[in-house]
Amino acid sequence: MRELQVLIAFGGFVALLLWGVHMVQTGVQRAFGKSLGLWMNRAMGSPSRAFGTGLLVTAAIQSSTATGLMITGFALDGLVPLVPGLAAMLGANVGTTLIVQALAFDPTALAPGLILAGVWMFRHYEPGRTRDLGRALIGLGLLLLALHQLVTLFEPLQKAPLLGSTLLALTDAPVIALAVSAALTWASHSSVAVVVLIMSLAHHGLAPPELAYALVLGANLGTAVNPVLEGGDNGNPAARRVPMGNLGTRIAGGLLGLALLPWSGPLMTALGGGAHGVANFHLLFNLTVAACFLPVLRPYARLLQWLLPPRTDPHDPARPQYLDESAREVPAVALGQAAREALRLTDLLRESLRLTEQALLREDPRAAGQARYLNGAISQLDRAVTTYLATQDQESLSAEDAQYLKSILTFSMNIAHAADVSGMGLLGHASRLHKQHWALDAEQQAELVEVLARLQRNLRQAAALFVSGDRTVARALAFEKEHFRDLEARAAERHLERIKTGHIAAADVSAFYLEILRDAGGVNACLVNAAAYPILDRHGELRPNRLRKTE
């Protein structure tokens, strides 16, 4: 019975430790997540800067796994080259050791004050950065309390025969110990929590140095698995180069560490025994791996490129067809190619809207999936156009070319945004319509068919306007916003009437239909912003109400 109570307490404190780490990570990410991502993207220009960036971000969010997933996402989007991405991963692995070093000094006395300050910030501030930082402080306090309780719990276990025999068996099988620790780290998404647990075992002499260091090697290996499994690859092996490269450095370091384990005990004892020895080994291991791989990242990157070549699908809609790198020498040709690629976005959006209509009116889940796939392709293609134009030599552009470049970017960005609005709004409504088993009435269905047909017509006008620059067509397209506002106003009146007459079920559907019209109006607004407004703005006719006064 006593053993069961101890086991339950052990599981509870480990869970509290993991939850504290989770709260710190989510608190910092909510407070600075977007800013951290933007700063990371800008700061990773060279391997040395990328290394420092990965180190600092990991020290801030207390998770090399989270940092690895962010870097993998940047690499997947083509925003980070391979060599800086690998360097940032090495920095992230060193950054997590700084957290462990701080926890090795047992700052448990700070826990009550951190929790008190965190709860006060969380309860007295509106949702925002200050409240999120309060959440992080609560998590840090819980982490320290859990660590202290684990240390206390292990004291009476020093003489437990079952635990002793288990750890003794693992001591004689360092490879198995490494695998167990790697699996635990992968499952918990936190190498910090696992290393802290190992420090507690070492502090009470439950884990001899060789076993503790083998477990640390496993924790370092396990934290590299999550970005590989969760980073995504879009079916392209080239997108897996950064996480697989990081996993390769962890495997190489782990094998080297296992080979040197028999000689590591005396060295670590000289640097400090117990928990401090574990923390120091963790730091020394990651510094050694970084020192070995940083000088050879370029040949290592070439090896990864050979092992994971890009997969090109000629039928992939996200694959650029006109962005010719050799055309950069002649700006007019390069801009023309980018414009042709931007017009491809309208073709993809046209098909996506057709499939969205099927998903809304026929409740076709297959059409919804195809539409989402096309919307993702539009987003990737827009990024390709933006990157192609952003890297064009600006000094070689004339004033007219610079204006044309700006109009292409505006058109591409707004068409991609229209796809986002359609995907998150209209396709989301289609899914909700199916789940709630709602049905639009005949009037709503007929009106929705007309609305979607009008969107298709306006999309064709936007594409034609992008090529012709006709001011008359631009005015007509700009006035389409008024039509969608009128539709929404009439639907809102019908919704109020149904509420007044007490038709609650019909009112729920009419409120839902009103949301559909608003998102359709949002898609139309993106089309107007893409093609009509840039032309009218150049002639001082930006807004439709200004046009109305002049006509």
pLDDT in tens, 22-72: 777 667 666 765 455 556 656 666 788 888 888 887 776 666 666 666 676
Q: State the Cα–Cα distance between residues 101 and 119, nearest whole angstrom.
A: 26
Q: Which helix (H) or strand (E) holds 251?
A: helix 241-271
Q: Which two tokens stand for residue 122?
A: 């969380």
The tens digit of pLDDT for each residue in 101-134 reads 776 666 777 888 888 998 998 888 877 778 888 8
Task: Evaluate the CA torsion angle 62, 63, 66, 72 in order and state its sign.
Answer: positive
The tens digit of pLDDT for each residue in 145-190 reads 876 776 666 555 555 555 556 666 677 788 888 888 888 788 766 6
Four-point Cα dihedral 461, 467, 473, 475, nearest 10: 100
On average, the pLDDT of the chain sits at 78
Q: Which helix (H) or strand (E) holds 34?
A: helix 2-43
pLDDT of residue 545: 45
Q: How would you label 12-42 residue by residue, b for 16+ Cβ within 10 Å and e otherwise?
A: ebbebbbebbbbbbbbbbbbbeeebbeebbe
pLDDT below 50 — which residues of the chain? 34, 232-234, 543-551
pLDDT of residue 251: 92
DSSP per-residue string spanning 175-203: HHHHHHHHHHHHHHT-HHHHHHHHHHHHH
